[in-house]
Structure 1
Amino acid sequence: MYLARLLRRKEILRVKIPTGETSHRSVTKMTVREALNMALDEELARDERVFILGEEVAEFDGAYKITRGLWKKYGDKRLIDTPISEAGFCGIAIGAALAGLRPICEFMTFNFSMQAFDRIINSAAKNFYMSGGRYSVPVLFRGPNGNCKGLAAQHSQCFAAWYMSTPGLKVMSPATCEDYRGCLKSAVRDPDPVIMLESEMLYNIEFPVSDQAMDKDYQIPIGKAKVEKPGKHITLVTHGQAYIYTLQAAELLAGQGIEAEVINLRSLRPLDWDTIFKSISKTHRLMTVELGWPRCGVGAEIIATVMENPVFFQLDAPAVRCAGVDVPMPYSEKMEYECTPKDHHIADYAKRICGTKF
């Protein structure tokens, strides 16, 4: 498995990360793990109301070492190890936010957030509305989302569509180091509850980071997508881990004369409809790419909204979803590999949409 080999060898992706607007600036390379750790450190230092709680986040340095060194630096009041009780420590985080603090609640995996689903949906998401705008809940829920490698059905679900369907929540799904830094900082400083869906498979991957993104106050506005690769033949809309395979697919397509425009959503609720609609008006073809299930998924929402808007008449071919297979994730790594779209799957779908004429 190509991505797994990258993780083991700690190499930079073979995909050429577009330099675009940062090409004239110097860049630093770091892993997503390092980008998250640095951003958390900066936010803890910036605002004494910020604290982190979750399983093994303090003395153990985090299950994925995202919080490495922070407990030693900030102490017991700023990094709190909790019992294995998601419903409990999620409720504590919401209560702390209502009391004026800025908690960062880490789930060891978003699969475990199901134990705290009532707290997130019925308390965090609805409190501002039900209090008539008097009590906001500035809490960030973060942790790995989706499949990793050989974790089987109960630990490999993508919760993007689950949470983005809930009014009152903001949902982010970063891909690059700059995304992780900018999204986390915006989420911590936002007055509303934010879900940040991360990828365990990306934690050890290196990306270039511009000087601009290294600024301590660098933020990515919630609700703003980014055109990572311009193109004119088809629009590929993606998020999170799927972004990697989508860029690889765009590289394959370029070798066959198809210029794909790749949009990295970064924010799932709210969605950046302006960027999506503008791209469709240029390419006249649309495909969404995600690793989650196709039914009622992120792509299903995007395509339905496109159908309901005048931009629909800009399409020269039916819009298509490229998503994970509609089955529980197998335990076998070989079967798991075939259950989510990879670069060749995405490229094949795109070629069928584009046909032979442009």
Structure 2
Amino acid sequence: MPIDQHGDADLQGLSIRGLPKVSLHDHLDGGVRPATIIELGDAIGLDVPESDADDLADWFAEKSDSGSLVEYLKTFDLTTAVMQTREGLTRVAREFVEDLAADGVIYGEVRWAPEQHLARGLSLEEVVAAVQEGIDQGEDAAERAGTDIRVGQLITAMRHTDRSLEIAELAVAWRGRGAVGFDIAGPEDGFPASNHRAAFDFLASEFFPATVHAGEAAGLDSIRGALIDGRALRLGHGVRIAEDLEVVSSEADEVYVKFGDLARWVRDREIPLELSPSSNLQTGAITQWGTTLEDHPFDLLYQLGFAVTVNVDNRTMSRTSLTRELALLAETFDYTLDDLEAFQLNAAAGAFLAVEEREELIELIAEGFDR
């Protein structure tokens, strides 16, 4: 199944790009168009490493492919630098939504950290309002183009700073006005969810949902903390839950696995895993299993019944799209249309929406795949 230059692929005569999709793990500052970085950077006198959009895209891909989450995160210094004004934030958010719609996404959740966008004098309220304005513009543009998409904000706190309670309060204040959930991101190893227990206690008291980055740069203790201290309803990445699985034997096409208590809890409770295959390779999250997509435990988790979802994490850094991620998985693991639909249904079921809205989303996915 050849994948074209845009990451699309033909699957049983269908373009994957044309299938309805749900995106749960997609960072705003990780999805800025290279051309936009150059234009916005020029306007504020920012030193951008490349003056051509294609060359800048290559630069991001090269710098991100380090095998280290810490090094990977350094590339965000450039994208966040052009997201410090109302105009910059609104434009980036609008284009973000437009790019999702062009990729066949019908529902997306965009995560970003307001505290990282205050360098030019904007307040927390002002940056959230600017991003929401851009989201609204992107949704309107998609509607005019004949495409329906809805995008909600996941207001994110940085786990290595001490503003998480303030950010949690900000997220709840924007409930009903665009914010659908909360997240913590940034350096995972050494900065456990327990450091932010006050924020998570507040969110729980307000019945506001949280997803937590865990099981990417750190292992089972990080996942355990996300669930216990963070009350996470989803796991951001969560790929290292596979460390709690022991393959005891393999016969022909049958693999026999022993579950640890944590893995069984995540599987049995159907806690969605926000897996990001290309990003997981770039950051070294799957190093203990190998260095190629074939080594990714995605298929093992899927076959064992975990609620796996497919995500891009950072489109610019990984030079990818949701279509491309699905195409790569289909090519690597011989997935069929039914498999790709299952991933979208898992994502829809895990979306931070009211149950009626999730049911409507599930119906739209089923209808789209049937066509």
Q: TM-score range by the shorter chain?
A: 0.3 to 0.5
More helix by share: 2
What TM-score does the superposition give when structure 1 sets the normalisation length? Answer: 0.32
